[in-house]
Structure 1
């Protein structure tokens, strides 16, 4: 009986992975159509500092929960910065980053959104690295005018990897075969249904090197580092906050309020400038450390269950991601 149950569960997992979906009923999807509302965290002055929270695995696609789809981190960052552009009282932005990174595309778009916001408004941006701000999380921070790392931050992991779920063993176990008819020998390279060939691994390695060259160039340029300084982290290692500062990747160690102070100083905003956030639900006595700031849906843990995150299985692709933290992040 135990073996039968195990095979049934394995088949269910296989169906979810192949179909690329999770069971859900979109009865609450309208919640995210509500407009963002401003809420003040602290301060009473005329000038404003906007706090934007960038959390979770960076990806372009929405998270699929049981009852709804949650907008992607890229969409949430974009809509908040777009709203900030229309408010002349906002003098600076603080981006708190708690992310192990994500896809190459999403990481680059987050970087570009911050860069464009600075270019179009002239407002400074301060990045505050929280628990984990690794790989694509750091890539995003590189667009900021100043980077402050929480003393206990794990950062670095500056590099690129190709990830894909390997289901060949599972297919053998449940006795399922996948027949592929293809137009060329390499059309199914990266397929999760078989092992890669040496030629395919070499091609993926070159893709990784090409994408990583851009990552390293952005870090080198934004942090004004020479080639010798790059040797301290270009192998992709993760770093403590102090190691990152010694390597020139961050400007100082501090906390979220140090980010507010830096934003006020860089922008010339008054000492009593308000710190505000944009969200779709009001939280009484809100603070900058509110981990529910992504406007959670009603329904609790069941409504928020994300199959892909729970299984810890990414979509196949190129990532600026620290794999050691993957699977526990939405």
Structure 2
């Protein structure tokens, strides 16, 4: 059977979309993530603005590779939003919509630093709003905010650091395969998946985890000033409900996004009718506050797409991440 050309498949998809009522203007087979960010007004009409930036998913500086297009990393996208906001003197407040289980320790700290730097350079108040999950690195990046608000159903906390690496030596033993590694020093292949860790190596890795975690805990102390008893509970690494987090002074309020916007306008001394804006790379029909996409996805259900990045680590390394499935 002759293979069907890509052009023919594309034509059939466009025809099928028209048959089911899709307007040609909505055709967007391959979203262009290189398009510039443009402001879109979600509500309000006054010249004062409250900017909403979504921070959703795994915190990483690695671009997400797709079948036909690549998507910018979360770090790149959030920093692009912050940089664009710096040039707008009408922005009176920034609202971060956080829904993330965390990510790499380095990238979590990068976003923390960039958000804190934006706050210091612009004097624009920042309100962090936690949605479903704002755990580990997701909590870490909320710390520079002037106020942290959690949805009543939010899961947060998981203040801690993990080192993740695969171990396949037992599998290799079962199938009779050996990996021979020649090293220049005793610990050059520390964490190798091809052999168990020695006691000394475990101690080295633990010391590194402890050092990175101490930085996380220091950030919590600096921004939240918990009591000694609360800090002991917080630094245990467990997750908390919104109510539990408020009792530990990890967050300031429990509420909904409209509550956060109202507070942001007050903090930024903005007009009550201030425009609530977001930055998009493409227009979205019926756009609203809960849209966390900057680019419209393909409108064709038959287009083959790569699966979204797994929320589990993709490579060995140190993470501020809550991964209960691992």
Same fold per superposition (TM over 0.5):
yes
- 1:202-240: CA deviation from partner (whole Å, max 9, x where unpaired): 111101111111111111110122323202211101000
1:89-104 pair list within 5 angstroms: 89-104=90-105
C-alpha distance in structure 1 between counterparts of 2:39 and 2:173, whole Å: 54
- Give the whole-Å Cα distance in 1 for the aligned partners of 2:205 and 2:143: 26
What is aligned with 2:46? 45
Per the alignment, do residues 67 and 210 of structure 1 end up closer, same or farther by CA in structure 2, a change over 3 Å counting? same
What CA deviation, in whole Å up to 9, does each residue of 1:228-268 have, x standing for no partner? Answer: 32022111010000000000000000111111111101110
How far apart, CA to CA, are the structure 2 residues paired with 1:177 and 1:297?
45
Q: 1:30 to 1:65 in 2, by over 3 A?
A: closer
Gaps of 5+ in 1: 1-27
Partners of 1:290 and 1:168 in 2: CA distance = 45
- Picking from 304, 307, 319, the partner of 1:305 is 307
Q: Distance in 1 between matches of 2:191 and 2:82?
A: 36
Deviation at 1:105, TM superposition (A): 0.4
Aligned residue pair count: 296
Q: Describe the SS at the equivalent of 1:228.
A: helix
Deviations for 1:87-127, whole angstroms, at most 9, x for unmatched residues? 11111100010000011001101111110001110100000
- Could you say if the C-alpha distance between residues 195 and 296 of structure 1 is closer, same or farther in structure 2, counting changes exceeding 3 Å? farther
Larger fraction in helix: 1
What is the aligned partner in structure 1 of residue 66 from structure 2? 65
- Comparing 317-326 with 115-124, greater Cα deviation is found at 317-326
Q: CA deviation at 1:170?
A: 4.3
Q: 1:41 to 1:176 in 2, by over 3 A?
A: farther
Over residues 244-295 of structure 1, what are the superposed CA-to-partner deviations in whole Å (9 max), with x where a residue is unaligned? 000000000011111111110111001001111101111121111124x142
Compute the TM-score of the two structures, normalised by the length of structure 1: 0.85
Instruction: Give the direction of change, closer, same or farther, for the CA distance of 1:315–1:29 in structure 2 (3 Å limit).
Output: farther
The answer to whether the 8 Å contact 1:50/1:90 transfers is yes
CA 163–32 in structure 1, closer or farther in 2 if over 3 Å, else same: same
Runs of 5+ unmatched residues, structure 2 = 1-28
CA distance in 1: counterparts of 2:104 and 2:225, whole angstroms: 25
**Distance in 2 (alpha carbons) for counterparts of 1:55 and 1:139:** 14
1:81 Cα shift?
0.4
